[in-house]
Amino acid sequence: MSSLVERRLVSAAMISLIVLTLLGAAVSTPVDDRIVGGYDCKAHSQPWQASLNIGYHFCGGSLINDQWIVSAAHCWMNPWSQLAILGDNHIWQHEGTEQYMSVDAIYWHQSYNYQTLDHDIMLLKLAHPVTVNEFVRPVALPTACPNAGDMCVVSGWGNIYTDSVFNPFYLQCADVPILSNTDCESSYPGQITDTMVCAGYQEGGIDSCQGDSGGPLVCNGQLHGIVSWGYGCAQPNYPGVYTKVCSLLPWIHEILTSY
C-alpha cells in the first residue's frame, strides 16, 4: 500500500444493527488501526483498555493509574467533547462493567510531529479517578525497553480486514513479537525514530489496523507500545509501528507529577 496511514478511526456511522463502518484518517502521513488476524480477547482480560468515544469509538487508550490514560497524539480531540470508557468488552452492548469517565485535560508531547508521527503520545487526565476492580485496572509502565523477539498482545476494536472495513463488536487481541531495529528500519527506511518500535510479522497477516490507534501493546505485563502507524494493515514487509513507551518515560512521569 503506497499511503502511510495513522491507525485511527475518525468517523463512524452505524448503518445497521450488525455493521459499524469506521473510516480511517487518510493523510499523507502514517495510518493503521485495527486488529487483523487476531481473536476475541478473553472478556476483560485487558482491563486497562480504554475506548475514546465522541458518540462512537474513535481511538483506544491504556489506563496507567487511577486517573490517567495514555494514547496516541494523533488521536487528539477536544477533551470536553469525549468520554473515556473503561471496563468494556462488547462495544455496543451495556454489560454493567463499564465506567464512563469525563476527560478533564489532555497533554500531548511538545515534540509531536503530525507528519512523521514522531513522539506520537498524549496523556488524558480523567475528571475523577476510576474505581479499580477486576474489570478496570491500570497496566504497568515498562521498567526497561523491550527486546527483539519478546511476545506482546495488541488489543482494540479496529478494523479486522486488510482490504475492506468491518469493525468487531468484541475487543480483539493479537499476539505479535517485537522486531529488531534493523528489521524495522528495513521496512520503513529513514522513517523510524528513537520513539518508535515495530511489532508484527514480516510475512504479514497479523497486525493492528484502523480504529486501534492509541491502544496498548503489552509485553510481559508492561505497556511497551502505543498503536501508531504503518503502511496498510497486515501487509507483508510492513509491520505495525508503535510509539516506544520506554523512550518517553521521563516525559510521562513529568506530566503525571506536574498535573
SS3 66: coil
Find the helix or strand (DSSP H, E) in which 251 lies.
helix 249-258
Identity of the residue numbered 235: Q
| 213 belongs to the catalytic site | yes
Residue pair 74/213 in contact by the 8 Å Cβ criterion:
yes
Q: Which of 155, 187, 208, 213 is catalytic?
A: 213
Please report the pLDDT score of residue 8 as a whole number.
54
Query: Does 51 qualify as catalytic in the annotation?
Result: no
- Tens-place pLDDT, residues 130-178: 999 999 999 999 999 999 999 999 999 998 876 666 778 999 999 999 9
pLDDT, tens digit, 9 for 90 and up, residues 31-71: 333 478 999 999 999 999 999 999 999 999 999 999 999 99
Three cell numbers written together for 26: 487518510
Which of 88, 120, 207, 212 is an active site residue?
Answer: 120
For residue 120, indicate whether it is catalytic. yes
Q: What distances in angstroms separate CA 36 from CA 152, 167, 173, 206, one per listed residue?
A: 15, 10, 9, 5
Q: Is the pLDDT of residue 246 over 50?
A: yes
Q: What is the pLDDT of residue 21?
A: 26
Q: pTM to 2 decimals?
A: 0.88
Sign of the Cα torsion 200, 62, 105, 83 reads positive
Closest CA to 154 of 170, 182, 177: 177
d(C-alpha 221, C-alpha 50), whole Å = 16
C-alpha grid cell, residue 183 = 528489521
User: Which has more confidence, 6 or 252?
Assistant: 252
The confidence score (pLDDT) of residue 135 equals 98
Task: Say yes or no to pLDDT of 12 above 80.
Answer: no
